Structures are given as C-alpha cells and as structure tokens.
A and B are shown apart, each in its own frame.
Chain A
Amino acid sequence: MAAEMTPEALSKMAARAGLKLAEDELQELLPGVNRALRQVAELRQLIEDGTEPASAFSALKVDKV
C-alpha cells in the first residue's frame, strides 16, 4: 500500500520543484497525485529483482545528425 500524500507534503514538494501553486490548486491536485502513487504501488508488485526498465541507452547509436 502506498503512503498517502498529505496537503503539507504536497506543498513542500511544490516549493522544492519551483512551483508556485495556490492552496486550492494543491487541494485539487491531491486526489490525482494519490491515485498516481497507488498505481505505482500496484506496478511495483509486478516487478522481479532482475527486471530492467524498458527504456534503453545504446552506445552504438552514433548516427544522430
């Protein structure tokens, strides 16, 4: 189960990210952020130790012009 984000924590994170958000906007954001965190917690259950992320860097990719 993911820890729920509180309005205070959201406000601190917003300030750290350089965002100037009004209190009412933070309140509006809170349910969506908590839903997003719950989703990540569900996804975490799918992963085994050796699972690498889908995004990959290729050292061979040198043809960008």
Chain B
Amino acid sequence: MTADDLSYLTISEAAAGLRRKEFSPLELTKACLTRIKAIDDKLHSFITLTADRALKQAREAEKELHSGNDRGPLHGIPIALKDLYATKGIRTTCHSAVLEHWIPDHDATAVAKLQEAGTILLGKLGMHEFAFGGPSVDAPFPAVRNPWNTAHIPGGSSSGSGAALAAALCYGALGSDTGGSIRTPSSHCGIVGIKPTYGRVSRRGVVPLSWSLDHAGPMARCVEDCALLLQAIAGYDAKDPASANVVVPDFRAGLRDGIKGLRVGVPRAGWFDENKGTDPETEAVFDQALKTLLELGATIVEIDGTPFSLARKANQTILVCEAYAYHEKTFQSTPEKFGSSVRRRILEGAFLSAADYITAQRARSVLNDQIRANFARVDVFATPSAARPPEAFESIDPNEQNLRPNFTNPFNLTGLPAISVPCGFTPGNLPAGLQIVARPFEEATCFRVAYAYEQATEWRKQRPPL
C-alpha cells in the first residue's frame, strides 16, 4: 500500500486494517502528520497541530488494541476538529483575534465522546471567523483553500474540515452548521457531511453563532464514516438546553437497504430560479443525480419550493440577531478584533428590533409547518447542496449569497437532518454535492439514501490534484 493509499483509506477500511494488524494507529497518525507537513502550506486547513499529543494517543491506542481493549471502530483513528469546539488545554480560536489565545479548561461534549471512542486528535481546523461571514482574509490565520483548486474557496464555515478531509490529512472531522456550514464545504470539497436533527448532538462547548440554529455534526470521506462518527457523538446531554432526549438508533443498520419505492420531493418551482437562480451547470449535475436515484428505484415528486425560499429570510434574521446578542460586549469594547467580513454581517443584528426578531421566529413556525407538511407526500427532499460551484478568491462578492437560492439554511430553520454527498463535478472540475433531507431524527434515512447513491457512482473514488 502506498502512503497516499494509506491516507485515503476510509475509517471503516482503516478500522479493519488495524484489527488485521496490517498497520498500527501510530502508522496512521504518522501518515497524516507527514502529509500535513507536505501539503498543508498550500491549504492552511490546520490552525493548531497537536502532533506530540497525537503520537502519544496513537501509542496508547496501539497498546489498548493489542491488549484486547477495543473501544470500537473509531479506536486509533486520527481526526481533527473545527476550531470552535472547546478542547481542554488546547487553544481554541474560532479563527479570530478575539479568541486568539483562549485555552479552554473543558472539552466540548462531542470532543469528550470522540476521545472515549478512542480517536486520536491531530489538531484544530481553520474556519470562517466565528463560523460566519466569509473566508477570513484579515484574521490572524490565513484563509483555507480548496484542495481541488487552491485559487478557489473550500466553502464554509467548516472550511478546514472540508479541505483537510479532501486532501486526506485526517480520516474524520467535526464541523458545525448554522446555515449550511457543514454541507457547503462538504459539497465544495467533494466529501460527505451531515447536519443532524436539531438536538441530536450536544452543542455544549461549541462556541455559539446562533443558539436556535446551531448544529454540531460530522464530516468524512464517505457516508458510512459519517454514520460511524455521528454514532459516537449523538445522544442526550443535560448540559445542552436544546439537547433532545430521544433514542439514538444504529445509524448503519439500514445502510444497505436500498431506496426502492422511496419518494423524493424536489422543491424546484419557486426556489431553484430565485433571483439569479441556480448555476445551470450545477443544476445539470443535480438532475443527473436525480436520474441515478430513479434508476435505483426512487420516484421523483416535484413540490412547491416557495416556503423553502422564504426560509432563508427568517434564518438570516434570527442568525444576525442571536449572533449580535452573543458578541455584543466584544463589539462595544474591542470591535477592531473582528475581521471585516464577520464584523459587517454580525453588526446588522444591532439594528434590528426585538419585534423584528420575534417576527422571524413567528415566521419560522409558519414555514416549519409548511415545509414539514410535504412529508405527507414524500419521504425525503433532494436539492443541490450549493447553488453554484466554489468561487475563486479573487471574485468573491459578499452580496452574491443573497442573489442565489440558499439550499441549506431552510433545514437549520426547521431543524431537519440533511446530508451532502458528492454528486459530480462542474466543467471547471470543481465538486458538487447532492443534499438529502429527511424527517426529524431520521438521520438513518439520510444515510441510506446517500449510501445508495454513493455506491451507485464513482465520485467518492476521485482525489484532488495535489
């Protein structure tokens, strides 16, 4: 096996190899660290590398596995974390000068759960500052670049998570998603990411952007790996007020059950052509993905996209109000510490009234009912994960995002589980994603549909030209 092949193993493959003693956790960890050293100067996906700690954890995992103390499929697997997950004793910056030197005294619940599962922490990953705005060009750390073409953005805000996985610098990662921040970089980097149902994964220890829209979730190179990671981090946490006390199923149990008879709702009319509309090449890739779902036995049902389109407006209003409320003191005391992009976006919240915020929360009730009513006719929704390919850094237009449909944020507003799986490339050889959305707490359905699609196509086997 070449070094590249070792790095590009899926978690399932690596876990099997570890148990067959084909390689050790130490070898997996060293392979990642060597690759990070060789490649990450071009990508800037890591803010903080915890190499010594990772090597120590790898040796411990090796001993435990040898002695028969097997903690499960993530034991001995090197992973990395978006730099808004609190990590005890390890700097947690949110990619911002505001928290540049913050060293938490606790681990986020999801981080603690991954440690219990035996993972090895390689380090902390770059992101959009405070998970908002855009690529952080004036933050203390460089903006993350897309492994498929470093002149282009990797999408955000979990940009380091997307880039590091696509470049095989780690085997799994955590991101967070308030309006699409797991699914957009997953789409733009050609990997898989799931935003679970609101309340499925604890947000304790995850620096907030918007309390009522924030979701924590996993990202990986394939659907099964995402299911493995979600299995480890899901579950009730009394320390998170939004945590849902619901049973966590075996997310892999129905993975191979196929999608014959599945009803796929496509909310095209009134949404896909909003303002400047969906990029035609992106929509063509999406339509090709729908054909594959049809071939696999699904039926396609066109549904009204109007409430999905309106949901963006409620999402944005709630987000800026809650984000400003969280950051208000810092804006009053040391506003210069924020980068220009996040500063401009969050400050909008200072000029909206309490009545405006409540209006958006009332509209959220209406839109939630309207969107969920579709589940009487369909089992899942399908959309492109992003309305266009990742832009080049030199042509970023901050206003552009309001001129295209936003396919991700309606599902933060509604809290529905949503996964992005690679579905091809646009003519510029930049990846595109297919988004599948299911009923509340039916992440297993997202995984089943995404897995069926993934296995029917070859996209997961592509590697970026690094």
Contact = CB atoms under 8 A, between A and B. Distances in A.
A53 B317 contact: no
A39 B212 CA distance: 19
Nearest to A17: B350
A43 B313 CA distance: 7
B364 A54 contact: yes
B347 interface: yes
A37 B461 CA distance: 46
Interface in A13-63: 13-14, 17-21, 28-29, 32-33, 35-37, 39-40, 42-44, 46-48, 51-55, 61, 63
B363 A47 contact: yes
A52 B155 CA distance: 35
Contacts of A52: 362, 365
B212 A54 contact: yes
B197 to A, nearest CB: 15
Nearest to B331: A19
Interface string B345-356: 101101110001
Majority SS of interface residues in chain A? loop
A29 B359 contact: no
Contacts, number: 94
Contact of B317 (A21, A32, A39): A39
Interface in B363-388: 363-368
B335 A19 contact: yes
Most chain A beta-carbon neighbours within 10 Å: one of B239, B314, B347: B347
Given A10-B351, A65-B239, 12 more contacts: A17-B328, A29-B348, A32-B348, A33-B352, A37-B352, A40-B352, A42-B310, A43-B362, A47-B362, A52-B362, A53-B364, A55-B361
Contacts of B344: 28-29, 32
B365 A29 contact: no
Interface of A: 5, 10, 13-14, 17-21, 28-29, 32-33, 35-37, 39-40, 42-44, 46-48, 51-55, 61, 63-65
Given A46-B367, A64-B238, A51 B362 contact: yes
A56 B314 CA distance: 17
In the A-B complex, the 5 residue pairs with the smallest Cβ-Cβ separation, listed nearest first, are A53-B361, A43-B363, A54-B364, A39-B313, A18-B332
Contacts of B261: none
Given A19-B350, A39-B317, A53 B358 contact: yes
Contacts of A28: 344
Contacts of B310: 42-43, 46
A37 B356 contact: yes
Nearest to A53: B361
9 contacts: A17-B328, A21-B347, A28-B344, A29-B344, A36-B356, A40-B356, A51-B362, A52-B362, A54-B368
Most chain B beta-carbon neighbours within 10 Å: one of A13, A33, A36: A36
